[in-house]
Amino acid sequence: MAEYLSPGVYVEEFESGSKPLEGVSTSTAGFIGLAQRGPVEGLPQLVTSPADFQRQFGGYLSESAFGSYRYLAYSVDQFFANGGSRCFVMRVAPSDAKAASNEGRGAEALSIVAKNPGAWGSLVKVVVTPASKAKTQIYEANGTRYRVKSTNGFYAGDVVTFTSGGDTQWNRIVSVQDGVIELAEELDGDVVDAALLPTKLLATSEFDLIVAFGDEVEQFDKVSLNPEAPSYVDKVAARSNLVQVQSLIVSEGAVAPFEAVTGVAEGKLEFVLGGGSDGTVGSIAASDFMGEDRGPGRRTGIQAFIDNDVVSIMAVPGVTDANVQLALVAHCENLGSRFAVLDIPREKTKVADVLTHRDLFDSSYAALYNPWLSVFDPLDKRNIFVPPSGTIAGIYSRSDTSRGVQKAPANEVLRGVVGLDVQYNKGEQDILNPKGVNLIRSFPGQGIRVWGARTVSSNPLWKYINVRRLFIFLEESIKTGTNWVVFEPNNEQLWARVQRTIDAFLTRVWRDGALMGTSAAEGFYIDIGRSTMTQDDIDNGRLICVIGVAPVKPAEFVIFRITQKTGSE
């Protein structure tokens, strides 16, 4: 409570009304798969366009090298072509993939390793040239201690050169303090030079490091092997997106860093990293996609998305291993904030085979789509068949943006798709649709469309995709928008504010057409207070709010009943 100690006018602000509650995004996708380059552990990387994906993860993978595991790049392309605006990508690499390094090229003093595994690292070019970041003249000599014009840029441990005419002396700094530099050994001859244009100079010795991959060039100027200096190569190069650099030696003598790295006193060292490998298909296992939980910031595969709170649509394009798909579904169910889009193996085209794969799942947090889609392959310059999950994720995003999450993502045209791997007819869909398999079909004059909107749940309450995704939207929006309630006094005033906040949000959702009823009261109800909480709940810090909503269901079966009317009737 505020204190009033002296006479005066006090103006205070207080909150009395409801806090606005904003709906969360439901159109951000998450993809896991093999790529040419990119991190294989840590946080998934944000991608906002196909060009952005290529900058971070490289281009398309060849069918001969990676077979059915190569579809990540194509699926991301299809996601953006069909209306997606942003996604997060986590790269998976075969266990025998290797990162390129500078082994045999100055590796005794400086280790340079590609940032992540892959043959791409063998195209990284490194250039090392000598440099100096600071120089000064000596005003006074006293044994190994020298008063200089400026000590800026000089640090204990730096290797320095003293030049006088054509002579050069090498030395090492012991300490720098109050305009005085102490060297490891005394310099020979007359070193004092107080002239306006000095000819005798004390200078630091460093090197420039340039790393290039294609059009991407990183330049680290005047780096050293001195751990005490701000220009220490390990610190400066830590921001590189291409390589990891580590100094392996700290010379005790007066050896120039450039010479320690290259083995020569002058010139420049130029080389390309080697030994990078993409690995082999045979070494890829389901566990690579399922990932490992190595702790925050070090998770891999599907587990890496535990650290991401933005993604609401998940897919592992083209990977139809039951272990991977069940792990993805479990991930979505455990978090409760995202929905899995699953592919059916391409070879399973017969109705019986499709149903065999479908029977592996029972979840309202996943949907199955079939068949595979024919799209243009920029790598082979021909049409190929790709899994539908990337395209469907784009349609989810497009439908959410244009119509809202309450609209079933079906009866939507697939962009960039020129054909289907299998043409299913109505009779076959009559068998697959009730089982929760969503078919993609081609209709004369209407293009290729998604013709199903069911989850793989056996619970009839959750058989429609839009119902489950609407509840994900409502739950995440309310959870995020009411975080301010935690630790507030649990009394009638708080209950009233919470009710007003949620009521305003659900009223807006009802007006957008996501809830049933001709009035807001028919679309939802909110119950909070003594009817939902006991004194024991209040004593144990629990605030319980019961919310009921009536979601809209898709008009899956449109029926017109027509009869004959005679003139006498």
Question: For the residues of 513-529, what is the DSSP string, one character each?
Answer: T-B-SSSHHHHEEEEES
Distance CA(390)–CA(315), nearest Å, equals 7
Backbone angles phi, psi at 325, to 5 degrees: -65, -40
Q: Is the pLDDT of residue 133 over 60?
A: yes
DSSP-derived letter for residue 188 is P
Say if CB 30 and CB 315 are below 8 A apart. Answer: yes
Q: Is the pLDDT of residue 569 over 60?
A: no
Q: Is the pLDDT of residue 1 over 70?
A: no
Is residue 415 helix, strand or coil? coil
Query: Band of the pLDDT at 106, cuts 50, 70, 90?
Result: low
Q: Where are the domains of the chain?
A: 29-95+281-466, 110-130+207-272, 133-204, 486-569
Phi-psi region of 214 (alpha: psi -120 to 50; beta: other; left: phi over 0): left
Say if CB 89 and CB 55 are below 8 A apart. Answer: no
- pLDDT on residue 4: 87
- pLDDT on residue 567: 65
- pLDDT on residue 501: 93
Distance CA(268)–CA(128), nearest Å, equals 6
Token pair for 308:
């991401």
Q: Is the pLDDT of residue 264 over 80?
A: no
- pLDDT on residue 434: 95
Q: Which CATH class is domain 133-204?
A: mainly beta
Q: What is the pLDDT of residues 455-497, one digit of tens each?
A: 999 999 999 999 999 999 999 999 999 999 999 999 999 999 9
Strands 216-223 and 87-92, by their bridges, are unpaired
Task: Provide the residue count of the chain.
Answer: 569
Chain centroid to Cα 418, Å, comes to 30
- pLDDT on residue 251: 58
Distance CA(394)–CA(392), nearest Å, equals 5
Q: Is the pLDDT of residue 557 over 90?
A: no
Nearest to 448 by CA among 413, 421, 424: 413
- pLDDT on residue 565: 83
Q: Alpha helices of 227-384 — where are they, by DSSP H?
A: 233-236, 257-262, 286-290, 322-335, 351-358
CATH topology classification for 29-95+281-466: Rossmann fold (3.40.50)
More confident position, 252 or 492: 492
- pLDDT on residue 410: 95
